[in-house]
Amino acid sequence: MCGIVAYVGPKEAAPLILEGLRRLEYRGYDSAGIAVRSDAGGGTLAVVRCEGKLARLEEAVRRAPPSGTRGVGHTRWATHGRPSERNAHPPQVGRVAVVHNGIIENHLEVRRRLEGQGRTFASETDTEIAAHLLDEALAAGASLVEAMRRAVRQIEGSYALAAVDARTGDRLVVAKNASPLILGIGDGEMFAASDIPAILPYTNRVIPLEEGELAELTRDGVRIEDAAGRPVSRAVRRIDWSPLQAEKGGFKHFMLKEIHEQPRAVEDTLRGRIVADRTGVFLEGAELDDETARSLHRVVLVACGTSFHAAMSGQRWLEGLAGVPAVAELASEFRGREPIVGEHDLVVAVSQSGETIDTLAAAKLARERGARILAVANVLDSAIPRAAHGSLYTHAGPEIGVASTKCFVAQLAALALLALRLGSARGRLDAGGLAELTAALLRIPGRMREAIARNSGVETLGRALASAPNWLYLGRGRSYPIALEGALKLKEISYIHAEGYAAGEMKHGPIALIDRNVPVVAVVPHDEQFEKMMGNVHEVHAREARVVAVTDREDPELRTLSEEVLTVGETLPAFSPFLTVLPLQLLAYHIADFKGTDVDQPRNLAKTVTVE
């Protein structure tokens, strides 16, 4: 994620940009920076950048306020290059400074070309190439807008960019592709930002830019053009949200917003990792070359909480798609025994925060015993990636709700990629098989969007069931981790007792609990476990349980046995967890909201558990 803000108008830019960034801090807080243009000496740029939270930048600006009436600002959630001042935005090259939200996929290639021409780079970020490309064009005599046109033509990936040039006094230029960018239309002043809250205190008149568009902002107006350079005219929208509502994107809670951000989290995690012809998976930074991949005897996944459920899904993909022995372990249990791990084991430590103490300790223990460690984390350069040999980052952006949602599906995406990478390196998947799976994976975000839209009505079901004190969630095979995750979500935020169980084990205990007061959520997609799961559904139905079925497509038999059937749409059976988890998150959310609990910060829970 990352938040960007741009301002051009009659007022001092720095305080306005800082205020905007403060409202975007939920998008990232690894570092922050601003660039302000002043008219002094025919045009100069003052750039201030700080590692850490925005407060540090505010302090630095207070000490030496940059003066000028146009500028850009950035609050960073690191994706390429560790959080540091050096990697903070905006990078400045020559007379131009630029801020960026997104992931530039071809940055290494462009960087090599630019270095070959004698350019030197000051940071490890993907963004710095944009500053060089702008500088290259400006130096060749292009205007700022023409420089942006030329730069974006050479960039692949997602970006919202805003550039300020020391010599172009009257305007800023912005561009957008697959990262949000909103123009704010003021009275004699113009804004651009990643999200509405940043501009809402100044204007409620906005124009969201669309893919491939570029805009020039002056005090008096905006000029928008499409990717082909044709002028575009766009209606101005009026926003009537309060600033707090706006921060939550109009959603009542961050958790609900994050549930809706999940397709994007998966998209960003897949971005740039599947080669264009779909016959290869490229995991930069994971340090898994073909020889290493082939030499592995086993993969051990260690994690806690929701990340453990992602790890369990990963185990199933590693076995089923990569043909490699795999096991998922609770990190606290793994580190609490004398685990047998060694040099032919890959230990995958899955952690949203990258800081969870048990997962960190498990990774360190395995490393001491000679295993190769791969971190799957959402926070760049956090403790677990630092303790690992390689890292595979999820790109979910910061997650504010304590109950994890978008980080979970991003972990699923990362682990599916890992399975495909190992499967192809080890010869388990041929080019055709890999292409089929990668194509299906790339379609997942679209399917997720449909599934979320289709299930927004679970609110009514949630109200009907909210008073039930005990719930059972059942699944088999790839749906078992999803049953566990559904039950965890319900207990975390609604404080209702819920148990996730492997459906095959139901007869060995939980069936004794079932009566007409117990909702049973059955995760039952049409896969190889379908018939067996239907057997379980019959059994609980016969005992009068209130069955809520989660499935991929309508099924008459399931319909007659269930109080409610939640359909999520179809994908390759292997990837159904991406979809089946969605109604379970929404159901838990709506029950908690109906009960009036503190959804985003449930009692007794912490986002990151760094104590034992």
The binding site for ligand G6P (CB under 6 A) comprises 304-307, 351-353, 356, 359, 402-404, 605, 607-609
Among residues 11, 53, 364, 607, the one annotated as catalytic is 607
Please, which residue, 178 or 609, has the CB nearer to ligand G6P?
Answer: 609
Closest distance to ligand G6P from the beta carbon of 409 (Å): 13
- Is 347:372 a contact under the CB 8 Å cutoff? yes
**Smallest separation (angstroms) from ligand G6P to the CB of 505:** 23
Please return the burial class of 2, using the count of CB atoms within 10 Å of its CB with bins 0-12, 13-18 and 19+.
Answer: buried
For the stretch 453-490, what's the b/e string if a residue is b when 16 or more beta carbons lie within 10 angstroms of its beta carbon? ebbeebbebbeebbeeeebbbbbbbbbbbbbbbbbbbb
CB 445: neighbour CB atoms within 10 A? 20
Q: Which residue is nearest to ligand G6P (CB)?
A: 305
Cβ proximity to ligand G6P: between 382 and 580 the closer is 382
Nearer to ligand G6P, 239 or 330 (CB): 330
Contact 309, 408 (CB under 8 A): yes
**How many helical (H) and strand (E) elements, i.e. helices and strands, does the chain have?**
20, 25
3-state secondary structure of 164: strand
Q: With respect to ligand G6P, which residue has the nearer C-beta, 18 or 402?
A: 402
Please say which residue, 296 or 301, places its beta carbon nearer to ligand G6P: 301
Tokens representing residue 268 in the block: 């960003």
Minimum CB separation of residue 386 from ligand G6P in Å reads 14
Output the smallest distance, CB 78 to ligand G6P, in A: 16
Taking the complex as a whole, the smallest distance from the CB of residue 288 to ligand G6P amounts, in Å, to 21
Which of 164/265 has CB closer to ligand G6P?
Answer: 265
Beta bridge partners of 346: 299, 372
Alpha carbon of residue 605 to chain centroid? 22
Closest CA to 484 of 328, 339, 347: 328
What percent of the chain is helix, strand and coil (3-state, nearest 5)? 40, 25, 35
Tell the smallest beta-carbon distance from residue 404 to ligand G6P (Å): 4
Active site residue 364: no
Length of the chain in terms of residues written: 612
Residues 126, 107: Cα–Cα separation, whole Å: 5
C-alpha–C-alpha distance, residues 257 and 277, integer Å: 33
**607 part of the active site:** yes
The three-state secondary structure class of 214 is: strand
Spot the catalytic one: 2, 50, 304, 407.
2
3-state secondary structure of 339: coil
Nearest approach in angstroms of CB 566 to ligand G6P is 23
Looking at the Cβ atoms of 137 and 402, the one nearer to ligand G6P is: 402
Catalytic annotation, residues: 2, 607
